[in-house]
Amino acid sequence: MRAYERLINYTKFETGSDDTSTSHPSTPTQLVLGNALVKEMTDLGIKDASMDEYGYVFGTLEANIDNWKGIVIGFIAHMDVVHEVPFSDIKTRIVKDYDGSDIVLNAENNVVLSSKATACLNDYKGMDLLVTDGTTLLGADDKAGIAEIMTFLENLSLHPEIKHGTIKIGFTPDEEIGQGSDFFDVKKFGADFAYTIDGAAFGEIEYENFNATAADVYIQGVSTHTGDAKDVLKNALLIGMEFNSMLPEQERPEHTENYEGFYHLDTMQGMVDNAKLHYILRDHDLTKLEARKEMMKEIGAKINSKYGENTIRLEMKDTYYNMLEQIKPHWHLIDTAKEAIRELGTEPISNPVRGGTDGSRLSFMGLPCPNLGTGSHNHHGKTEFACLQAMDKCVELMIKIVQKYAVK
């Protein structure tokens, strides 16, 4: 079975995660997919395939080299998809021999996969693309990664002549809500190093990501009858708007790229007497992230000086860090992947991740874990697509990586 066929099967599982849930995993549907993956792994000969109480699926493909004592490599992907975009009743179709033109996904709703808006489409001329009917996401983030790992396992089980060491497999829940590593048992997983299969283009290898902070701005206002409001009323909503206006306008996500960090007002809620602004702060440079936090504090102090002490209360929490420092001592992970990508006829791509990955947190938990592409794009949207041939290449890449570590 090819990887794209598995992806189509996995899209039938409705695995949107839920950041308002207090259960782990956040949605029971992820357990349904987890159980299916355990069965599929067992059918492929993974004798210890299992799912724990938190919805993590683990399994081991034993070495087929006598007296193996080498490096144990793992491959990881996540089962959940974002819940903000419709993720149920996904209808897929294959665009054969893509010609470079726009692809109308849904004429009624004017949903078009535009070659102008999605520049990477030009790389896939003459290839086959898996798309949806434009009413839902595809779920290739990260079911493409799962499909490729499972197809990788199938290839190794069918071809015992491919020599490899011990390989660990992990499928995680709740990555899209930032909880994918919360209950990941690194010791139980048992790998020395791993790769998350959770990127975009084949040939990507990512080892730099944002440092991240969550910031909550609580605003205490004073409400009174508007007829008696002079010198008494303090409108928390307007104070919140004033706070936001004091942040640099050009340092928002919509104005930044590459290594440029940002302040992002994610949610705003409240009434006249109290309000709350929730921000996410991002920067690849930890020193610059600290400067962003200081600016938030300085603005809060200015607001309090103007409107009275305790008008603004600021709470900030770091949520993840740049994995680069954890990867540097183990650069063989990058060199090995790049060498394998080149042998498959592609020049490796290493761009900074403008977000976080399970691999980032796992790297700080003692499992150095860069990220590889899946051959899919436009994640978290209705124009999401995957290239069938690129997914095949991703499977070949994993095979090459384990072959290289078999002789290290």
Query: Which of 301, 319, 337 is the last residue in one of the domains?
Result: 319
Mark residue 231 as left, alpha or beta (left: phi above 0; alpha: psi -120 to 50; beta: remaining).
Answer: left
- What order of strands is seen across the sheet that includes strand 262-270? 262-270, 274-283, 211-220, 312-320
Catalytic residues: 80, 175
Looking at the fold, whether 394 and 290 belong to one and the same domain comes out as no
- Supply the range of the domain harboring residue 262: 211-319
Q: How far is CA 228 from CA 27, 129, 223, 239, 352, in A?
A: 49, 64, 10, 19, 54
Looking at the fold, whether 253 and 294 belong to one and the same domain comes out as yes
What's the pLDDT tens digit per position in 125-163?
A: 999 999 999 999 999 999 999 999 999 999 999 999 999
Non-local (6+) Cβ contacts of 62 within 8 A are 166
The CATH number that applies at residue 261 is 3.30.70.360
Amino acid identity of residue 205, one-letter, is: I
What's the pLDDT tens digit per position in 265-309?
A: 999 999 999 999 999 999 999 999 999 999 999 999 999 999 999
Looking at the fold, whether 150 and 280 belong to one and the same domain comes out as no
Looking at the fold, whether 110 and 13 belong to one and the same domain comes out as yes
Looking at the fold, whether 118 and 198 belong to one and the same domain comes out as yes
Looking at the fold, whether 146 and 260 belong to one and the same domain comes out as no
Tens-digit pLDDT profile for the chain (408 aa)?
Answer: 999 999 999 999 999 999 999 999 999 999 999 999 999 999 999 999 999 999 999 999 999 999 999 999 999 999 999 999 999 999 999 999 999 999 999 999 999 999 999 999 999 999 999 999 999 999 999 999 999 999 999 999 999 999 999 999 999 999 999 899 999 999 999 999 999 999 999 999 999 999 999 999 999 999 999 999 999 999 999 999 999 999 999 999 999 999 999 999 999 999 999 999 999 999 999 999 999 999 999 999 999 999 999 999 999 999 889 999 999 999 999 999 999 999 999 999 999 988 878 899 999 999 999 999 999 999 999 999 999 999 999 999 999 999 999 987
Quote the number of domains for the chain: 2
Looking at the fold, whether 72 and 140 belong to one and the same domain comes out as yes
Euclidean distance between CA atoms 401 and 51, whole angstroms: 26
Query: Which of 275, 291, 319 is the last residue in one of the domains?
Result: 319
> Which residues in 261-286 are b (16+ Cβ under 10 Å) and which e?
bbbbbeeeebebbbbebebbbbbbee
Looking at the fold, whether 346 and 330 belong to one and the same domain comes out as yes
Looking at the fold, whether 125 and 218 belong to one and the same domain comes out as no
Looking at the fold, whether 112 and 245 belong to one and the same domain comes out as no
Please tell me the pTM assigned to this model.
0.90
The CATH number that applies at residue 362 is 3.40.630.10
Query: Which of 319, 335, 366 is the last residue in one of the domains?
Result: 319
Looking at the fold, whether 96 and 231 belong to one and the same domain comes out as no
Looking at the fold, whether 202 and 217 belong to one and the same domain comes out as no
Residue 148 has φ and ψ, to the nearest 5°, of -70, -40
Residue 188 has φ and ψ, to the nearest 5°, of -65, -40
The enclosing H or E element of 103 equals: strand 103-106
- What order of strands is seen across the sheet that includes strand 385-387? 92-95, 129-132, 385-387, 376-377
